[in-house]
């Protein structure tokens, strides 16, 4: 009996030691500071296929563009698609169809999306704002008398994408642009607050019905094409 009892005690001791080591390792991982993302993306971006990012599939895309190439644009798409709860967009110009596809993909997953757009460019030929609205995404146009020239996105209130880049094909492929990507709270939170301020300010419910013609925008012959931004 004494030998059997000794074996049982040793066995329980080994189990307890193993569990203690596992808990200790998990505690160290929890206490270890998480690396905060800080990245700068420069454009124009190399032209490459992004179909595998927008629509993951076991089948290979057969287009003629380079595949499996990491570019500034592909990294931008991945950051946007990393949203798990919300995506706030504050954009002057939005005509890039791949970026629109990314936003629609998030919307189809139930991600809460809010879009603030410049009223003068929201309905210009090539704008994707109408596409977002038709999909059921909440879009508001800036109602101030000054140009809404922001180009930033906030992912899950934790990740900021901000820079000179308009969300247009020309800006991505032809212009010298930049996007700063950061998770630093001291940088992210001011943009979270600014988006909230602009969102409330652009609420059409607070304006009289006589002012609603502000949202009806028609393209005139002397307006610049959105695709040339």
Q: Express each pLDDT in 129-177 by its tens digit.
A: 999 999 999 999 988 888 899 999 999 999 999 999 999 999 999 999 9
Task: Considering the candidates 149, 193, 201, 214, report the single residue annotated as catalytic.
Answer: 149
CB 54 within 8 A of CB 101: yes
Question: Looking at the predicted structure, is the pLDDT value of residue 12 above 80?
Answer: no
Q: What is the 3-state secondary structure (H, E, C) of 195-211?
A: HHHHHHHCCHHHCCHHH
Name the average pLDDT for the chain: 85
pTM: 0.78
The domain limits of the chain are 1-32, 38-228
Residue that has been written with the tokens 């190399």 in this structure: 46
CB 61 within 8 A of CB 51: yes
Give the integer Cα–Cα distance in Å for 178 and 169: 14
CB 118 within 8 A of CB 148: yes
Cis peptide before 128 (omega within 30 of 0): no
Task: Considering the candidates 120, 156, 157, 219, report the single residue annotated as catalytic.
Answer: 156
CB contact set of 185 (below 8 Å; sequence gap of 6+): none
What is the arithmetic mean of pLDDT over 106-119? 97
pLDDT score for 218: 38
211 is catalytic: no
Beta strands in the chain (DSSP E): 38-43, 86-91, 112-117, 138-141, 151-155, 159-163, 177-182
109 is catalytic: no
What is the arithmetic mean of pLDDT over 106-118? 97
pLDDT score for 7: 55
| Per-residue pLDDT tens over the stretch 41-94 | 999 999 999 999 998 877 778 899 999 899 999 999 999 999 999 999 999 999
Task: Considering the candidates 79, 150, 151, 170, report the single residue annotated as catalytic.
Answer: 151
What does DSSP assign to residue 59? S
Total residue length of the chain: 229
CATH architecture of 38-228: 2-Layer Sandwich (3.30)
Q: Which of 9-18, 79-88, 103-112, 163-172 has the lowest mean pLDDT?
A: 9-18
Q: Cα 174 from chain centroid?
A: 22
CB 47 within 8 A of CB 173: yes
149 is catalytic: yes
Q: Which of 10-24, 77-91, 121-135, 188-202 has the lowest mean pLDDT?
A: 10-24
Instruction: Label residue 217 by pLDDT band (50, 70, 90).
Output: very low
């Amino acid at each position: 009996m004494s030998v059997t009892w000794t074996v049982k005690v040793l066995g329980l001791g080994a189990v307890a030691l193993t569990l203690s080591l596992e808990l200790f390792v998990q505690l160290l991982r929890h206490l270890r500071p998480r690396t905060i993302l800080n990245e700068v993306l420069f454009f124009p971006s190399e032209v490459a296929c992004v179909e595998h990012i927008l629509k993951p599939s076991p089948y290979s895309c057969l287009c003629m563009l380079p595949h499996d190439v990491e570019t500034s644009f592909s990294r931008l798409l991945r950051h946007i698609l990393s949203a798990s709860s919300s995506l706030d967009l504050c954009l002057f110009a939005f005509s890039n169809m791949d970026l629109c596809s990314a936003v629609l993909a998030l919307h189809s997953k139930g991600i809460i999306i809010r879009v603030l757009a410049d009223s003068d460019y929201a309905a210009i030929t090539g704008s994707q704002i109408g596409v977002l609205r038709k999909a059921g995404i909440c879009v508001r146009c800036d109602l101030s008398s000054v140009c809404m020239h922001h180009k930033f996105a906030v992912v899950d209130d934790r990740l900021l994408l901000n820079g000179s880049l308009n969300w247009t094909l020309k800006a991505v492929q032809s212009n010298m642009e930049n996007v700063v990507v950061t998770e630093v709270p001291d940088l992210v939170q001011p943009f979270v607050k600014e988006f909230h301020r602009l969102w409330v300010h652009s609420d059409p419910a607070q304006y009289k019905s006589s002012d609603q013609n502000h949202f009806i925008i028609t393209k005139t012959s002397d307006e610049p094409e959105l695709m040339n931004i």
